[in-house]
Chains A and B, each alone.
Chain A
């Protein structure tokens, strides 16, 4: 593409501040922008050029690229509307859960395994369901604008809708296995969304990492859920919960470890958190939705859901409190050293997940109420901050904190949403964040074990949140304008509507905390506790310890803000080890499998056959020897049978001893004919015909192959060994046949088939009736196997030819055809 074409969209972008939307996903989905912005913009320009070329070409060719986009965007609108409708439907259930009730529905799924497609919406499920659907609506609307014109927009909304459906299923499922299936749906859709920008190696690696870690956690979870179902005697979650605590059960320890592994992997608890910052390779709305508001909270949901059955043990409290607290502290420290705003937010999400896990480790009412409140608070402000970051990125082209400042002049509405969200994040009154923070402190103090340690950790991590919030507020929004900010203009309405709505909810709910308390938090907390929670959410509690702790937090946060740059730079000394360890582990796994493959797959057909036949021969022989041998039949062979048997044996010996290949092939032919003869004598003409025909065609194929192989005499080594293996295999099959026929024979099946063959299947040839009617599904499976084997063999033959003569094979065939014509 020529230079003018490249310049045009750039000029448009700087002129009206509304850059070519097609190019927007490229910078947004970059996790670490390259050191030089010049290089980045150069790359973006190139991407733009490519896309413009794509679109131009598409339009010229009259294909659907340009025309398809409206339909794809319509998918986004449809998803947004569907989510809103679902949210309204869930909202109508609020009175039920507020009264302590639940709505349930069920369908049979796998009754033989006790698996039911059962759903149940109680207070806890409803909070999550509302978060998922309300946010889903806002995110879908946002994405229609954010990814406008992206060529894979339809695919994006498919993945997003899949994820949303999976998430709703996960939080409403009332059956362990059903819940697990939805759990995995969210894992897979997250993988697809993180890797959405599939052309980028970084996105692919991140998607792979997210899938491996959460998928491995999912495996552990499955085992844990199966054990839990065994221990509780039911797969119904509501029944398990009603059954009381299982902490004294013999299987408690494995159940606990496995389920917590799954939850920690999903909810990014240290040290399994490393996939989450990498998952920021996903488009920003995805990060806002999956990686801060909903999916990563699935682990939290699981812990809360099973809280009544599993919590209360020392193991539970210490593990959740320890890992949660450590994750919270670590993530808040790491958040401050990020220079990319989106990454900083990602780490604060991990911090929030740590806090939620820590609080769920307790069984005290106030701690659980604190967790449920903070869940809502965090979802509201974090999703809006992510979306605002996306809007800022859209307008300014950067997410680097250092390059952003004074946005309120050029992006007033986005800035307003940002101020509202940041106020909640910092926990300033009268935002809901303040209520949440007070409850957090109260909850931390109420936890019986180590209240001082947990409360201290909470203060420290919250102070760092305050520092980051102040940085966003006073640097990015209100600070001195940077060149990038000056050139920007307000984001389009669809990019600020969602975040503004979510962030305002944080203010409204903060002013009237009891509203959200009565309708959402308390029913959810009661579902977790299984007991009434007599706590009223209030904005002002009077001067008490939590308030003093809040003051200390703000003071520390202010201090942190003042030394933010030095702090951030100082934190850069923390070495980045996790990524290296991850790569080392992956490499070690890959290497160990290569080592196994080198032993197991030497590539020698002879070795494969030797091992296969030796095992097949020695296994049954050993088993039969241990059972006391096989009795030979008492009746002597009649003359025809003896003749056929002699022919077979002679053929086999000739094939094994032959020095010339034609003799060997003849020996094999004699074996086949002898066996076919046996079938004729024993009254199975179908089998005999089949045997004979298979034998003929096998010989044709063997001739084709062996005539190209070197003469047998050239390879005499190992002949004895091969003969022994072959003899043992034959002996084994013969002994097995004897063993099978020596026992009492139950003719009832054969008689039933004989009796049914004509009246039921209108056929007198029972063999064929069995093949094509009675057991047609088996036959179908067999012909599929035949087809697959043929395709596989064909590929092997072609590959060999390909390796020898590269692309000459088809040409050679063409030439042969022409020659023949």
Chain B
């Protein structure tokens, strides 16, 4: 499958997809998107990289083992759920803070940069989906390698 056309296209597409993945993650709270969709797009990006440049290249690009990403995602989401406990709120309650503003609605948009445990939780979802899909994609491709080398 490693044709020059695909490789050349992949170089652009993968970066675009990854950017789009983050975009989807961040806009999810107000527009269609979110951690799940973002994670799927990110996984598609790495799957495309694996198809065009090989799994080894995709693994290098990811830098971490997919299962590590997966575990990190669960941990981040759990941390987002536990953090409110420290503030005396029930678990998984949303905590918000607004950098450079007071969070007041000004023309339909909140004043300041909103950062919340909700976003952190969504980031956890994003990591889990990314890690889970890539774990399978990479493992199945590795299986291919074994067959080729073993056969």
Contact = CB atoms under 8 A, between A and B. Distances in A.
A364 interface: no
A769 B35 CA distance: 11
Given A697-B133, A704-B141, A783 B47 contact: no
Given A696-B44, A808-B150, A776 B34 contact: no
A801 B40 contact: no
A813 B91 CA distance: 42
A697 B43 CA distance: 8
B37 interface: yes
A99 B116 CA distance: 62
A790 B34 contact: no
B60 to A, nearest CB: 8
Given A704-B141, A772-B125, A790 B70 contact: yes
A780 B92 contact: yes
A768 B34 contact: yes
Contacts of A772: 28-29, 34-35, 118, 121-122, 125
A798 interface: yes
B150 A805 contact: yes
- Most A CB contacts (10 A, CB to CB) among B40, B44, B141, B147 go to B40
Interface in A759-818: 761-765, 767-769, 771-773, 776-777, 779-780, 783-784, 786-787, 789-791, 793-794, 797-798, 800-801, 804-805, 808-809, 812-813, 815-817
B114 to A, nearest CB: 7
Interface SS, B side? helix
Given A793-B136, A801-B143, A816-B56, A768 B92 contact: no
A246 B28 CA distance: 62
A797 B140 contact: yes
A150 B43 CA distance: 52
Interface in A356-380: none
A700 interface: yes
B62 interface: no
Nearest to A690: B37
B132 interface: yes
A783 B139 contact: no
B59 to A, nearest CB: 8
Contacts of A696: 40, 44
B132 A813 contact: no
Interface string B67-91: 1001101100110010000000001
B23 to A, nearest CB: 12
A693 interface: yes
Contacts, number: 173
Given A701-B140, A794-B135, A808-B146, A685 B32 contact: yes
A780 B78 contact: yes
Contact of A786 (B28, B33, B128, B140): B128
A689 interface: yes
Range class of the B interface residue count: 35 or more
Given A697-B43, A787-B128, A816-B56, A771 B139 contact: no
Interface hub of A705, A800, A805 (most chain B Cβ within 10 A): A805
Contacts of A805: 146, 150
A820 interface: yes
Contact of B92 (A697, A777, A804): A777
B40 A809 contact: no
A768 B29 contact: yes
Contact of A776 (B31, B71, B92, B114): B92
Nearest to B114: A762
A765 B30 contact: yes
B118 A761 contact: yes
B43 A812 contact: no
Interface string A698-733: 001100110010000000000000000000000000
B57 to A, nearest CB: 6
B50 to A, nearest CB: 9
22 contacts: A689-B37, A693-B37, A700-B47, A700-B137, A761-B118, A762-B114, A764-B31, A765-B31, A767-B34, A768-B29, A769-B29, A772-B122, A776-B92, A777-B91, A780-B81, A780-B92, A790-B135, A797-B136, A809-B146, A812-B150, A815-B149, A817-B60
Given A693-B41, A708-B143, 12 more contacts: A689-B37, A697-B47, A763-B29, A765-B33, A771-B34, A772-B28, A790-B133, A791-B135, A793-B136, A808-B150, A812-B146, A812-B150
- Per CB-CB distance, the 4 closest pairs between chain A and chain B, nearest first, are A790-B132, A820-B56, A693-B40, A763-B29
